[in-house]
Structure 1
Amino acid sequence: MLTDTLIQSIVDISHQAGDKIMEIYQRDFAIYEKSDESPLTEADLAAHNCIVAGLQAISDLPILSEESANISWQERSGWDKYWLVDPLDGTKEFIKKNGEFTVNIALIDKGVPVLGVVYAPVLSQTYVGIVGQGAYKISAGQKTDISPKAHIKGDSWKIVGSRSHQSPEIQALLDSLPGETELVAMGSSLKLCLVAEGVAHLYPRLGPTSEWDTGAAQAVVEAAGGKVTIIKDAANPLKEDAEPLRYNQKDSVLNPFFLVSC
């Protein structure tokens, strides 16, 4: 069982990284382009350095971060337990200054996210999930238990979508659902958290993501009682026997398409 001390330490580290991000968010900042043409800011690097230093002070487990991802599969394949980090998830949201970006820290154990902290510094919201122990949200200093909300027949489906990445396949998936659908737009890993706290019913992801984009929020979803499963057939995304999304199973750190649901 994960200790309260460890959980609080991870929350504290996420908040410290958020403070570093906000120092830069409130002024002009430089924007760079990574090799895959995705944007990178000095805030990504400041948060990365803060988190790595914080984790190394409390743990000797290896760390896989978006900003230090050039670790060979030969090395990673020997990891049973490690930290999976996205120092600033939603860099495009950060650049747009819409507040919908997060700090993500997950503990992965044998491919399963068992602890996740997702912190949205502009929104002052922290989501914490400990698989087997539950999930909660901290907002304005108040801690509230969260759980997903099942769709009720006759109600409109609330479907989380991305502000920055819309897939043309999404409409076909929406058309496969019985009844009306309503899009709930959100950026970063907050999309998964909306399902975890019952604000939305589903989040289908039919576009590219990496493991650090989802690890922490998946722990929140699963700890809350929800599911993150692999989509193999977009025309039938709600299959009961769908496989759960898992981590560090292959050379590539890209995720397959997935569905977040109750």
Structure 2
Amino acid sequence: MQGLLEAMAVDAGRAILDIYRAGASVSYKPDCSPVTDADEAAEAIILAGLSHHFGTIPVVAEEQAAAGILPDIDGGRFFLVDPLDGTKEFINRRDEFTVNIALIEAGAPVAGVVYAPALGVLYSAEKGLARKQVVAADFSRSDPVLIGCRNAGDRLVAIASRSHNCSETLAYLADHGITDFEAIGSSLKFCLLAEGIADVYPRFGRTMEWDTAAGDAILRAAGGETLTLAGEPLTYGKRHQQNDSEFANPPFVSRGRR
């Protein structure tokens, strides 16, 4: 499965880069979040690939969900797709946007791909192993290299959201004595933890499951974890929530090895 998901992500990334270089058309959803023709083109490519190779597994995809198209996921196994995570980075000509595809089983992300097409880097995970590849300008890929979280030392390095930082995040960093942190967009934050470049990613601003699932799969395979503020693993497939919309995440903290 891993190789197929990687290929789909790279195909979607190729379409995104074509639009990125030519200039994207931007519109806004009812919740005022931006969407571009690159989001829609990439999602169509991924949905076609998943339907062809894994037609019996339902798919929850961001743009389809925004249109009210949600499959039955009661079987417990489904894909989560964010075809262009970091749309604001994409619109503002920053290269940190990603393609995200994740497989969920029993509420946990068990496989995932995060591809940053403008940066030429591809992360993936399956069967408890996380790996990284370099993607060249012709979209050929290097041999994969296994990655893993580092053991946290006395001086933690944090990753925070570039476009969605908030006072709660800054308070968390202050309360934990963390002075070293970097702001970065999209699901790359999980990948930097998985690669051992940083130690902790607190997120108090709003996220949806398709924003986090693929990066979270890679982080967990690399030896890290994503916990709610109650200390429980973040789960996926959250429907019919009393205090929030379907597939919305609560605040969480992702981190490498303690």
Q: Which consecutive residues of structure 1, in runs of 5 or more, have no partner in the other structure?
A: 1-5, 233-241
| Structure 2 counterpart of 1:25, from 5, 9, 20 | 20
SS class of match (2:239):
coil
Q: 2:235 maps to what in 1?
A: 246
Once the two structures are aligned, what percentage of the paired residues are identical?
42
SS in 2 for 1:76: coil
Q: Is the 8 A contact 1:76 1:248 kept in 2?
A: no
Which residue among 241, 257, 260 is the counterpart of 2:254?
Answer: 260
Instruction: State which drifts further: 122-131 or 8-17.
Output: 122-131
| Per-residue CA distance 1:146-183 (angstroms, 9 max, x = gap) | 11112212x3x2110111111111121112214x5211
Aligned pairs (5 A) from 1:1-262: 6-60=1-55, 61-69=57-65, 70-71=68-69, 76-132=72-128, 134-140=129-135, 141-153=142-154, 155=155, 157-178=156-177, 180-232=178-230, 242-251=231-240, 252-262=246-256
Deviates more, 1:32-41 or 1:243-252: 243-252
Q: Structure 2: how far apart are the matches of 1:115 and 1:77?
A: 17
The aligned amino acid for 1:229 is L
Q: How far apart in 1 are the matches of 2:54 and 2:17?
A: 26
Where 1:203 maps in the other structure, the secondary structure is strand
1:228-254 deviations in Å (ceiling 9; x for gaps): 11024xxxxxxxxx1100111322211
CA offset at residue 79 of structure 1? 3.1
Counterpart secondary structure, 1:67? helix
Residues 12-57 of structure 1: CA deviation (Å, up to 9, x unaligned): 0000000110110001221000010000000000000000001111
In structure 1, C-alpha distance between the alignment counterparts of 2:153 and 2:78, rounded to whole Å? 38
- TM-score when normalising by structure 1: 0.89
SS of the residue 2:144 aligns to: strand
Unaligned runs of 5+ in 2: 136-141, 241-245
Please give the secondary structure, in 1, of the residue aligned with 2:22. coil
Moved more, 115-124 or 137-146: 137-146
Q: Secondary structure at the match of 1:26?
A: helix
Counterpart code for 1:244 = P
Number of residue equivalences? 242
User: What residue identity is the alignment partner of 1:144?
Assistant: V
Deviation track 1:100-122 (CA, whole Å, cap 9, x = no partner) reads 00000001111111100000001
User: Secondary structure of the residue that 1:128 maps to in structure 2?
Assistant: strand
Structure 1 residues 180-216: Cα deviation after superposition (integer angstroms, max 9, x where no partner):
5211111000011111111111000011000000011
| Contact 2:238/2:248 (<8 A) preserved | no
Give the partner amino acid of 2:171: A
| Alpha-carbon offset, residue 142 of structure 1 | 3.9
TM-score (norm 2): 0.90
Q: Does the 8 A contact of 1:131 with 1:219 survive in 2?
A: no
Corresponding letter in the other structure for 1:76:
D
Cα distance in 2 for partners of 1:17, 1:203 equals: 27
| Structure 1 runs, 4 residues or longer, greater than 4 Å off | none
- Cα distance in structure 2, aligned partners of 1:125 and 1:142: 12
Matched-pair contact (CA < 8 Å) for 2:42–2:83: yes
Contact map agreement 2:148 2:196 (CA 8 A) in 1:
yes
Distance 1:257 1:26, change over 3 A: same
2:243 equivalent in structure 1: none
CA distance in 2, matches of 1:258, 1:131: 24
C-alpha distance in 2 between matches for 1:166 and 1:116 = 25
Quote the RMSD (CA, aligned, Å): 1.3
CA contact (8 A) 1:100 1:186 kept: yes
